[in-house]
Amino acid sequence: MHRDPDALHRRVRQEVTDRADALWGVASALHADPEYAFAERRACALLTGELRRAGFEVRQDVAGLPTAFTARHGRGRPAVALLLEYDALPGLGHACGHNLIAAAGLGAAIAARAALGPDAGSVLAVGSPAEEGGGGKVLEVEAGVFDHVDAALMFHPGVYDWVRAPLTAQEQYRVGFHGRAAHPTGNPTEGIDALAALVELFNVLAALGRRLPEASHVQGIVTHGGTATNIVPEYAEGLFGLRAATTDALDDLAGQVRSAAEGVALATGTTCAVERATVRYEHFRDSGALSGRFAAHLRRAGITVTPPVPGVYLGSSDIGNVSGRVPAIHPFVAIMGEDGSDHTPEFAAAAASDRARHVLLAATEALACTAVDVLCDADLRAEAWRGHDHGITTGTAPR
């Protein structure tokens, strides 16, 4: 069936306009009631309730996670996923603007479904908990949530208007050193100082850091350094956050950290244990074809997004793991000036501001129009898949 894209986009804009107050109400309710990683029960109930009322078939406890869900309208391929994040930051609330991400994904899914009806493939809203720590999307990818999806779409509020997200790969490692306790005065030669080994590892990693490639770094903290000053520490432990521009570079960096720890253990007479302490967030792979469509739709609302500034990275996200499986977008749209920063009280306040409302509605419209394009334009889907990581994916490309 032929569909007029301009008419569909007008229908989307009207749907978003009609739901503007309701979407802002959802964003405001989430903002006023922040919940944290894997415990976003009220947020999950609010969002799934809205989707059920809009006629979506909701499945909860996805990937074995009580606060993860999928909501589907339609059947089969093509299929587009709108991603919702709704966890907050302990002590800061929605200082990353996830209340806006959730409301935009919700609104875009409902508007796209209303514009197209049930016979144009599938619209999937994916509720992904614990982006700030825990990696809900990592677990959803592993559970196959995105295996039969043609595109994954979301936006992120920020301090820049950037068409794509320079997001690095990251993971954390726990390094423990085992030595031997002794009295530091009575029999100091009998002791093997595990804390001294951990301190030496920090020194080695500081030297390593001076020759790491752009975007790679290691940041560590001491999580256990002994029990008393009159006992040579027999155990010491550090937690180390690793980041790199690509997932392959992260693997290389992890190998260097492991080698450094083993070398320090050999030099100090200790033994060491190195283990990954978190799931791994892969680097983000942008779909230029889809990002271009989003940018064109967003421009209608008076917001122009540009390429990111070279050499500037904005952290890491589990959207990277999704982007390794299917074509994906993750643009940033500013809700405060470039002199600000997310993960601050000021950004939390901005996520409930008049500017945030304008950005929410503009991004919702642009996401929904892009979703409609994915479902109705076979050439766009083919272009997105061709550009996706040179065809390397666990998803199934359309025939």
> pLDDT by residue (tens digit) across 347-388?
999 999 999 999 999 999 999 999 999 999 999 999 999 998
Q: Are residues 65 and 123 in the same domain?
A: yes
Closest by CA position to 289, among listed 145, 388, 359: 388
In the chain, pLDDT over 70 holds for what percent of residues? 96
Q: Are residues 45 and 185 in the same domain?
A: no
Final residue of a domain: which of 276, 294, 328?
A: 276
Q: Are residues 72 and 106 in the same domain?
A: yes
**pLDDT confidence of residue 397:** 39
pLDDT confidence tier of residue 119, bands split at 50, 70 and 90: confident
pLDDT confidence tier of residue 285, bands split at 50, 70 and 90: very high
- Torsion sign (Cα): 235, 242, 280, 30: positive
| Residue-range definition of the domain harbouring residue 246 | 169-276
Average pLDDT, stretch 292-304?
Answer: 95
**pLDDT confidence of residue 2:** 59
Domain count, the chain: 2
Closest by CA position to 121, among listed 374, 398, 375, 370: 375
User: In this structure, is residue 42 part of a structural domain?
Assistant: yes
Question: What pairing do the DSSP bridges indicate for beta strands 122-127 and 79-84?
Answer: parallel
* pLDDT tens digits along 141-174: 999 999 999 999 999 999 999 999 999 999 999 9
User: In this structure, is residue 296 part of a structural domain?
Assistant: yes
Q: Are 266 and 152 in contact (CB under 8 A)?
A: no
* Phi and psi torsions of 276, nearest 5°: -70, 135
Q: Are 333 and 158 in contact (CB under 8 A)?
A: yes
CATH of the domain at 347: 3.40.630.10
For residue 275, list its beta bridge partners.
174
Q: Are residues 162 and 190 in the same domain?
A: no
Closest by CA position to 80, among listed 119, 46, 126: 126
User: In this structure, is residue 399 part of a structural domain?
Assistant: no
User: In this structure, is residue 143 part of a structural domain?
Assistant: yes
Q: Are 213 and 245 in contact (CB under 8 A)?
A: yes
Question: What pairing do the DSSP bridges indicate for beta strands 57-60 and 69-74?
Answer: antiparallel
**Stretch among 7-16, 118-127, 333-342 having the lowest mean pLDDT:** 118-127
Q: Are residues 163 and 312 in the same domain?
A: yes
Q: What is the Cα–Cα distance from 253 to 276, expressed in whole angstroms?
A: 13
User: In this structure, is residue 358 part of a structural domain?
Assistant: yes
| 215 SS3 class | coil
Q: Are residues 226 and 364 in the same domain?
A: no
Final residue of a domain: which of 227, 246, 276?
A: 276
Mean pLDDT of the chain: 94
Q: Are 154 and 291 in contact (CB under 8 A)?
A: no
**pLDDT confidence of residue 133:** 86
For Cα atoms 52, 54, 57, give the angle at the middle one, nearest 5 degrees: 45
**pLDDT confidence of residue 391:** 47
Average pLDDT, stretch 235-247?
Answer: 97
Q: Are residues 228 and 377 in the same domain?
A: no
Q: What is the Cα–Cα distance from 211 to 200, expressed in whole angstroms?
A: 18
**pLDDT confidence of residue 132:** 94
User: In this structure, is residue 396 part of a structural domain?
Assistant: no
Angle (deg, nearest 10), helices 41-53 and 20-32: 170
Closest by CA position to 162, among listed 315, 354, 386: 315
* pLDDT tens digits along 40-55: 999 999 999 999 999 9
Q: Flag whether the pTM goes above 0.75.
A: yes
At a CB cut-off of 8 Å and minimum separation 6, what does 143 contact?
Answer: 62, 63, 64
For residue 325, what are its two tokens?
């499986």
| 9 SS3 class | helix
Is the bond into 78 cis (omega within 30 degrees of 0)?
yes
Q: Are residues 89 and 231 in the same domain?
A: no
Q: Are residues 289 and 385 in the same domain?
A: yes
- Torsion sign (Cα): 16, 19, 24, 29: negative
Q: Are residues 88 and 184 in the same domain?
A: no
Q: Are residues 94 and 67 in the same domain?
A: yes
* pLDDT tens digits along 302-334: 999 999 999 888 899 999 999 999 999 999 999
Q: Are residues 71 and 133 in the same domain?
A: yes
**pLDDT confidence of residue 301:** 85
User: In this structure, is residue 383 part of a structural domain?
Assistant: yes
User: In this structure, is residue 123 part of a structural domain?
Assistant: yes
Residue 282, Cβ density class (10 Å: 0-12 exposed, 13-18 middle, ≥19 buried): buried
CATH of the domain at 194: 3.30.70.360
Final residue of a domain: which of 231, 257, 276?
A: 276
Average pLDDT, stretch 261-271?
Answer: 98
Task: Identify the helix (H) or strand (E) that includes residue 157.
Answer: strand 156-158
pLDDT confidence tier of residue 399, bands split at 50, 70 and 90: very low
